[in-house]
Amino acid sequence: MMLKIVMSNIDVLKSKDHYLSLLFTPVTNIFSPATLASIATIRKDAVFRFTPEMMYIVSAQRVTDPQIWCEISLDIFDQVDVQSKRDNIISFELNIIEFLHILRTYENLNSDQIMIRLQRMDSNVNEPRSKKLSKLSFHFTELNQNNIEVSHSSSVIIRLLSQATDEAIKEPVLDHVNIVGYLPSDISAFFKRMERFKDPKFFEFSLSNKGLLTVSIEGDMKNIEIQWNDLLNVTMIEDTEATAAAAAADPSEEISFMVMIKETHLQLKSKFFEVVKASKMFISENEALVFDCSLEEGSQNRILYFIKGTVRA
């Protein structure tokens, strides 16, 4: 199957402000309903940012909320053409649930290509440019069981972002990192165990310099503790006083680094880890928990999931 995305100018080809053309062969999960569904778990709206080299999908709202940054190289597309007056960068916000629904419909049909165009919607000619709505229009065809070609058309309303708005959306930066754990390919089983616990309030992740991964789950009625059955490969980051002290201590001594997060902030769970190929977990003690997950082994296509640490009220 071939997925062709063509975004024409927002002013219906009256100028060359925005133009994006992509030709895609969906042979992996890199840009697929499974990937988009993972991003949609924390927020229904997402920002799509196209640069000459990369496509970014960002789900972020307040700095205290979880954030997802999906980075996909445009090398996965067979043909790429990104043009705009802003150094060939195009950014817009859309409802990713609606986008996901259309992509799933396309995937389930006997269709070779889907055409996506960025278009201005009909509006009052006297309306300010900033108030005019835009949309992604989708068109694809399928061959039904009688070998007759049937056309399908849909659209998703989008909001083009100004340069100032887009540049204000920045990837979170950790003040420090204490330890990095390299998660095994079957780590989804660990998260399934966590999901069995009813009505949790907090999760406290702990990773030791020996590679012991422990999660304490706190609820209103009871608390439990689960551990991964094998030791993880870990890397100590010796740029903080706590980590440096651990590194200088007796090698036989086990020292753990912990971060507590709200249950409502841990939205990426077992199904997410079944999609990704390789994962790393960063703990910034008492500050943040970050999952860095590759969508394809040996590539730069990845999903970053930032969760800010919390304390009990």
Phi, psi of 78 (to 5 degrees): -70, -35
**Domain locations in the chain?**
3-167, 179-308
Q: First vs last Cα of the chain: how many Å apart?
A: 52
DSSP string, the chain: --EEEEE--TTTTSSSSEEEEEEE---SSTTSHHHHHHHTTT-SEEEEEE-SSEEEEEE--STTS-EEEEEEEGGGEEEEEEEETTTT-EEEEEEHHHHHHHHHHHHTSS-S-EEEEEEEPP--TTS-GGG--EEEEEEEEEE-TTS-EEEEEEEEEEEEPPHHHHHT------S---EEEEE-TTTHHHHHHHHTSSSEEEEEEEEETT--EEEEEEESS-EEEEE-SSPPEEEE--SSHHHHHHHHS-TTS--EEEEEEEGGG----HHHHHH-SEEEEEEETTTEEEEEEESSTTSS-EEEEEEE-----
Residue 161 structure tokens? 């972002």
Contact 234, 182 (CB under 8 A): yes
Phi, psi of 10 (to 5 degrees): -65, -25
pLDDT in tens, 261-287: 998 888 877 888 888 888 999 999 999
Fold classified for 3-167 = DNA Polymerase III; Chain A, domain 2 (3.10.150)
pTM value is 0.84
Which CA distances in Å does 243 have to 131, 181, 270, 292?
51, 14, 30, 21
DSSP string, 76-99: GEEEEEEEETTTT-EEEEEEHHHH
Mean pLDDT for each 10-residue chunk of the chain (313 residues)?
44 48 57 81 89 90 84 80 82 91 82 74 55 74 82 88 90 89 93 88 94 92 90 83 61 86 84 86 94 85 91 65
Contact 181, 213 (CB under 8 A): yes
pLDDT in tens, 79-92: 777 778 888 888 99
CATH number of 179-308: 3.70.10.10
pLDDT in tens, 208-242: 999 999 999 998 777 899 999 999 999 988 665 66
Output the pLDDT for position 76. Answer: 78
Output the pLDDT for position 227. Answer: 95
